[in-house]
Amino acid sequence: QQPVQSPQAVILREGEDAVINCSSSKALYSVHWYRQKHGEAPVFLMILLKGGEQKGHEKISASFNEKKQQSSLYLTASQLSYSGTYFCGTEPDSGGYQKVTFGIGTKLQVIP
């Protein structure tokens, strides 16, 4: 089942912070985050596994609350290069192989 992302779009000024949320109706094993710039391939940001861990990647970090079946991506002190569409992909906690299902994305635009 497709995860729900919010907001659908956001505009930031350079240096501002943003939070992108991803929620699922199913118990999750992992959450994957990717960023895609227009006309380019999605680029991997990070994977979070069940256990409520938090990960960081430069000024981009994420959390995973397995009880709430939610993940949040945090972008701090945004840069122009952060512009793009952010996708979360979720893998159900059903044992064995489960495909990753992606949300429709959150379009982020950082302006000077």
Q: Interface with other proteins by CB under 8 A: which residues?
A: 2, 30, 32, 34, 40-44, 47, 49, 87, 89, 97, 99-105
Residue 82 or 86 having the CB closest to other proteins? 86
Residue whose tokens read 């960081």 = 56
Question: Which phi and psi angles does 80 have, rounded to 5°?
Answer: -55, -35
What does DSSP say about strands 101-102 and 84-92: parallel, antiparallel, or unpaired?
A: antiparallel
Residue 16 or 109 having the CB closest to other proteins? 109
Residue 12 or 45 having the CB closest to other proteins? 45
Min CB(102)–other proteins separation in Å = 3
Contacts 24+ apart (CB under 8 A), 50-59: 50/93
